[in-house]
Amino acid sequence: MIPLLLIFVLMFVLKNPVLLPFANPDQSTSISLGFILVFAYLLGSHLKRLSLPLITGFILAGILCGPDVLKFITPSDVQDLDLLDGLALSLIALTAGGEMNIQRLKGRFKTVSSIVFFQTVVVLLGFVLLGFFGRSFVSFLEEGTLFQVLAFSLLLGTLSTPTSPATTIAIITETKASGKYTDLVLGSAVVKDFFVILIFAFSLSISKSVTMSSHEFDLSFLLQILEEVGGSVFLGLLIGGGIILYLKYIKRDVTVFILSVAFFSYQISHNYGYHPLLICLVAGFLAENFSAQGKLLIAAIEKSSVPIYVVFFALSGASLNLGALRQTWHLALICVVWRGVLKFAGTFFGARITKEEAGVQKWAWTGFISQAGVALGMAIVVEQNFPEWGGEFMALVLAIIAINQIIGPIFLQRLLFKVKEAGKKQ
């Protein structure tokens, strides 16, 4: 506890306004990064003693030191660290893709598809129902037309569907889990992330058409999304091929190479509108399944996985919008609970149809609570496309993500311990 307090006090003194005349606030990125690395890790380690996941500590540290609370990490720091955050996300996605071993997943493919299908349908329908029956509790929906309610709830349902692959892989890595539940949760999270982008394109096009006076179905966005997804998959295949060749013939400076792959993916997705997560998922998947050197890739990333997770999750904590949570916490809480119920129902039906064991039917849903990344990006698109209620929608989604990102890792960790898969990885 003493080091945690000491580092906290040191940062408090260094960032004290009294010292501001001697400081160069434009150069605060590295000090913030260094502080958060140590502070978040120490906090995570303390929480681990209370049987909570490390990444919950990282996220809480980010929230505590972020722009909404102590302001040790300023909004400009978060912005400046966007590149490192993107690098971390790419590396995490490479690991997640690399964990998707076809041989291992072959027997589980039916269950994964069934869970993904039922979760998606149940969550979408459930949120549409919630929108219609609960509209009187939401001021801006109460005044809206039925079509607007449909658009709002359909999009909210779409954004509630995905599970964060980054959080999932981080918990799996931390608990060193391996087995049926691990494969099901990770497999479903990755597959869902892929499909939810397409579903979002449909939902957005439908929402736009029902809210427009002409009721025309706008295909342009759908086509744009298809192009982005197709382009990302193609790039992922290209990069995956490059990784295979590199690991086979060169093998030199693998860490530097992997970092440059992550940087390249981030740059290209940033500049041309592709999805870094999809690119790296596909690349990692290809390297793992179509070359004998896939293990080398994962080993190179896992060697430095902890600092990557600290940076990524602490920054995601610092980016969580507590203002939005304060505004809409009651509504957000209802949505979180409802999402949990729907996740349970979707997983239950999905597992039951494929005759999975009772444990999967009853408990696997707890692995699907975390939510971030892709949902956040989609919320921004919704805000831009529906200026009348996009702001309220964005605030609600941010609040839901904030809650799910805190409780999601805890649920997943508990699941992996409960089913005794934690610590099973060789």
Residue 237: closest CA among 62, 97, 136, 339:
97
Q: Give the span between the Cα atoms of 298 and 396, in whole angstroms.
A: 36
| 56 in contact with other proteins (CB under 8 A) | no
Among 152, 194, 257, 338, binds other proteins (CB under 8 A): 257
At residue 295, what is the residue type?
Answer: K
Looking at the Cβ atoms of 52 and 306, the one nearer to other proteins is 306
| 92 in contact with other proteins (CB under 8 A) | no
Query: Where are the extended beta strands (E) located within 180-226?
Result: none
Tokens found for residue 318: 């610092």
**Least spacing, CB of residue 101 vs other proteins, in Å:** 24
Looking at the Cβ atoms of 131 and 317, the one nearer to other proteins is 317
Q: Tell me the angle at which helices 220-245 and 180-211 cross, rounded to the nearest 10 degrees.
A: 150
- Length of the chain measured in residues: 426
**Least spacing, CB of residue 40 vs other proteins, in Å:** 9
Q: Which of residues 294-353 bind other proteins (CB under 8 A)?
A: 303-307, 310
Collapsing DSSP to helix, strand or coil, 389 comes out as: coil
| 246 in contact with other proteins (CB under 8 A) | yes
Looking at the Cβ atoms of 45 and 145, the one nearer to other proteins is 45
At residue 284, what is the residue type?
Answer: G
Q: Give the span between the Cα atoms of 116 and 90, in whole angstroms.
A: 23
| 250 in contact with other proteins (CB under 8 A) | yes
Looking at the Cβ atoms of 70 and 210, the one nearer to other proteins is 70
| 242 in contact with other proteins (CB under 8 A) | yes
**Cα–Cα–Cα angle for 43, 32, 268, rounded to 5 degrees:** 105
| 214 in contact with other proteins (CB under 8 A) | no
| 49 in contact with other proteins (CB under 8 A) | no
Q: Which stretch binds other proteins (CB under 8 A): 257-265, 338-346, 378-386, 391-399?
A: 257-265
| 237 in contact with other proteins (CB under 8 A) | no
**Cα–Cα–Cα angle for 13, 15, 19, rounded to 5 degrees:** 80
Q: Which stretch binds other proteins (CB under 8 A): 34-42, 124-132, 365-373, 391-399?
A: 34-42
The set of residues, in sequence order, having a beta carbon less than 8 Å from that of 170 and lying 6+ positions away, is 55, 92, 309, 312, 313, 409
Contact (CB, 8 A) for 383 and 391: yes
| 255 in contact with other proteins (CB under 8 A) | yes
| 33 in contact with other proteins (CB under 8 A) | yes
| 271 in contact with other proteins (CB under 8 A) | yes
Tokens found for residue 368: 């699907």
Q: Which of residues 346-405 bind other proteins (CB under 8 A)?
A: none
Q: Give the span between the Cα atoms of 399 and 95, in whole angstroms.
A: 28
| 249 in contact with other proteins (CB under 8 A) | yes
| 35 in contact with other proteins (CB under 8 A) | yes
Looking at the Cβ atoms of 318 and 399, the one nearer to other proteins is 318
| 48 in contact with other proteins (CB under 8 A) | no
| 83 in contact with other proteins (CB under 8 A) | yes
| 259 in contact with other proteins (CB under 8 A) | yes
Tokens found for residue 101: 């071993």
Among 1, 22, 49, 214, binds other proteins (CB under 8 A): 22
Q: Give the span between the Cα atoms of 180 and 421, in whole angstroms.
A: 8
| 202 in contact with other proteins (CB under 8 A) | no
**Least spacing, CB of residue 2 vs other proteins, in Å:** 8
The set of residues, in sequence order, having a beta carbon less than 8 Å from that of 399 and lying 6+ positions away, is 321, 324, 325, 327, 328, 329, 331, 332
Q: What is the DSSP letter of 240?
A: H
Interface residues toward other proteins, by CB under 8 A = 2-3, 6-7, 10, 14, 19, 22-25, 27-35, 37-38, 41, 45, 80-84, 242, 246, 249-253, 255-257, 259-261, 264, 267-268, 271, 303-307, 310
